[in-house]
Structure 1
Amino acid sequence: MKPEPPKVPRIPQATTKRLPLYYRFLQSFNNAGQTRVSSQELSEAMKIDSATIRRDFSHFGALGKKGYGYDVANLLEFFRHTLDQDEASNVALVGVGSLGSAFLKYNFQKNHNTKIVIAFDNKAPVEGKLMSDIPVFNPSVMEEKLAEYGVEIVIFTIPSRSAQEVADRLSKTPIKGILNFAPIRLVVPDHIRVQSIDLSVELQTLIYLIRNELA
């Protein structure tokens, strides 16, 4: 029987977003044969100040020892369970345009516990077709296929004009989360968590930071 992920206290969202990064860099240290690592070494590798790293880790209790640092294997195991890396999550993609097609080709297969198993697009036939070895169906059969493929998470790469309508349909299904690339704030019931990524906002933020650093 797979062990339960460790129960952790409520932590800040900014810390939550860094957890997969810690796991990725710890994998790199482990693959290089390094047995222990300091917060300073993590800081230099990740370009995150060491105080932030220590503060993030403090939310989970005593993960390291003063004067020793962190045991790489133990820390990697801890974050593997915390992020539930042993349990794969089936993902569906809605919208196979330029961005959606890129997701299908990448498909999170390396060092991730998620995999796109199905996609939906208005131009796809009801009976489905293969794109990058992923079955793509017409959205008219979305609810049926989500249940058939055991999907927990859905990625939206669709226009904002149709995003809320699709979200309304998904609210009546057992899905748990939406990764939303549509530039719209989705309204969903409490059992669905939404993570929105507005590429135009991210780009504007980057431009602002660059210009103010050079000012």
Structure 2
Amino acid sequence: MIDETWKIPQATTRRLPLYYRFLQNFANANKTRISSSELSEAMKIDAATIRRDFSHFGALGRKGYGYDVQYLLDFFRKTLDQDEVTDVALIGVGSLGTAFLKYNFHKNHNTRIVIAFDPRTPKEGMINSGIPVYHSDQMTEKIKEQGIELAILTVPADVAQYVTNDLVDVGIKGILNFSPVRLSAPDSVRVHTIDLSVELQTLVYFMKNDVKQSQL
């Protein structure tokens, strides 16, 4: 688990799961040690950034030797709590929510969706991709019953804040928000918002400006 007293920069923290994923790829390819340059080439991240990120955790490598792949894997597995699976509730089973249900997070990650809720679900519930789905009226009861602290939100914008309020009241500590609104929540609740339309607009901007720069 990441010790907050280390004051790791947020940008570095966001890259840790990526480091872990690419280190798994190196290990699967029977690579025993790597350099920051090799990791940089694979991840398309500047080598200096990688070295700076790693420096926040002490001496992870040796000058002239590089990094031991298995050591880094073990270190980041422990740092990211990869050995402890976190149960997740999915709120909203529309097109995006259904895609999440079909994707087996727990095969490659330390999270798994164990329950889902949607207002269109029959009162008796149903099974979707092996995961129980209940009517939204049962959300607070079921989440509290199972002690779930992490939720994925894929609901319409006009109800997102109301759902968030209910999730906060029932003890949710983290929300991954795919609704196109900024949610209000207490400081004790971590909210990460992923607005797909904004991400696409940003991508288009960079694409067009890359073209302009190449024409100069």
TM-score of the two chains, using structure 1 as the length reference: 0.95
1:69 to 66, 70, 76: 66
1:135 to 132, 136, 148: 132
- Map of 2:28 onto structure 1: 31
Q: Kindly tell me: are residues 6 and 170 of structure 1, through their superposed partners in 2, closer, same or farther at Cα, counting changes over 3 Å?
A: closer
Q: Give the partner amino acid of 2:192.
A: Q
Q: Secondary structure at the match of 1:104?
A: helix
2:3 to 1, 7, 23: 7
Q: Give the partner amino acid of 1:151.
A: I
Distance 2:85 2:105 in 1: 11
Distance 2:125 2:25 in 1: 39
Q: Give the partner amino acid of 2:191.
A: V
2:105 is equivalent to residue 108 of structure 1: yes
- Map of 2:40 onto structure 1: 43
Q: CA deviation at 1:97?
A: 0.5
1:200 to 194, 197, 200: 197
Residues 36, 71 of structure 1: 8 Å contact kept: yes
Give the number of the structure whose residues are more often helix, by fraction.
2
Q: Give the partner amino acid of 2:211.
A: L
2:144 to 143, 147, 150: 147
Q: Secondary structure at the match of 1:67?
A: coil
2:178 to 176, 181, 196: 181
Distance 2:55 2:64 in 1: 16
Q: Give the partner amino acid of 1:200.
A: S
- Map of 2:119 onto structure 1: 122
Residues 25, 46 of structure 1: 8 Å contact kept: yes
- Structure 2 unaligned residues grouped into runs of 5+: none
Distance 1:108 1:22 in 2: 17
What is the aligned length? 211
Q: C-alpha offsets along residues 117-159 of structure 1, whole Å, 9 cap, x if unaligned?
A: 0000010123211111111111111111112233121001111
Supply the RMSD in Å over aligned alpha carbons.
1.1
Q: CA deviation at 1:6?
A: 6.1
1:99 to 79, 96, 101: 96
- Structure 1 unaligned residues grouped into runs of 5+: none
- Map of 1:57 onto structure 2: 54
- Map of 1:158 onto structure 2: 155
Residues 61, 67 of structure 2: 8 Å contact kept: yes
Distance 1:199 1:71 in 2: 37
Q: CA deviation at 1:193?
A: 0.4
Residues 16, 76 of structure 2: 8 Å contact kept: yes
Distance 1:18 1:69 in 2: 19
